[in-house]
Amino acid sequence: MKIGFIGLGIMGKPMAVNLMKAGHEIVAYDIVEENVSYIVGKGAQSAPSAKSVAEQCRTIITMLPNSPHVKTAVLGKDGVLDGAEAGSILIDMSSIAPLASKEIYAECEKKGVEMIDAPVSGGEPKAVDGTLSIMVGGKKEIFDRVYDILKAMGSSAVYCGEIGAGNTTKLANQVIVALNIAAVSEAFALSTKAGVDPRKVFDAIRGGLAGSTVMDAKVPMILANNYNPGFKIDLHIKDLNNALDTGHKIGVPLLLTSSVMEILQKLHAEGCGQEDHSAIAKFYEKIADVSISEKE
């Protein structure tokens, strides 16, 4: 199948590559020429605009940083809706505000274009492996039609409900991940300053009730003092902003999320915004005057 792919960043590139590995033909567009050159080198075709992608493909995937970027790519001049035929399917895999998904969906409906929101979890490592968790909102029949496409990029693709449900589910995911990293960082700052080897703490508790996918993924990075981004702090700030905004609008207080947001904002102000969100540990190291990372 010929699939359009718009947005070739840290996640989009490997996702597009996995679609090609599954036998799909990719027509790609990104505002960063280097990203386009990379994916063309892997076998994709390039297009000069989002409109051109939609003119060539009946199925179009967007994987962009935030709501305004998706609105521009889909609704703006030379955007997807300028080139898409009625009956085309837009799969927005960006993590954006649920309300924004509904607004874009309403404009797609006017042109007879189907849309689902299908944000992902797993960061760059799982994007590379093709084992992302994909959360989907929209019409069930459209989800069923594109299920095999989604499974080329993820180990799971779960239908969550009407349009916006995918991004609502992603917000819940991002709240849990952020709080989990903060809890791990706080606990390891405590145990390390108390004189216990952090590696032994990790080995002792990871198999118990405190164990988690987040702990298994992030503690080795913290111990190695490796904050190369699998998922950047600035992107997590964006997601938590969307979560807090949604919570305010529907009357759900997010007290712990607000606290972690302030930690992330502090790290951003200190120049860590492009580091992995496991760098939350650096905040705790600083305020506790302790180094969690293993000594060389």
Dihedral over Cα of 141, 249, 73, 272: its sign: negative
Q: Enter the DSSP assignment of 289.
A: T
Closest by CA to 88, choosing from 27, 31, 4, is 4
Closest by CA to 136, choosing from 123, 154, 124, is 154
Dihedral over Cα of 85, 86, 91, 92: its sign: positive
3-state secondary structure 24-70: CEEEEECCCHHHHHHHHHCCCEECCCHHHHHHHCCEEEECCCCHHHH
Closest by CA to 61, choosing from 94, 36, 97, is 94
Q: Enter the DSSP assignment of 226.
A: -
Q: Rounded to whole angstroms, how far apart are CA atoms 155 and 38?
A: 25
Radius of gyration (Cα) for the chain, nearest Å? Answer: 20
Q: Is 232 a catalytic residue?
A: no
Distant-in-sequence, close-in-space partners of 228: CB < 8 Å, separation ≥ 6: 275, 276
Catalytic residue among 13, 126, 170, 218: 170
**Can you tell me whether residue 234 is helix, strand or coil?**
helix
Dihedral over Cα of 61, 2, 113, 132: its sign: negative
Catalytic residue annotation: 170
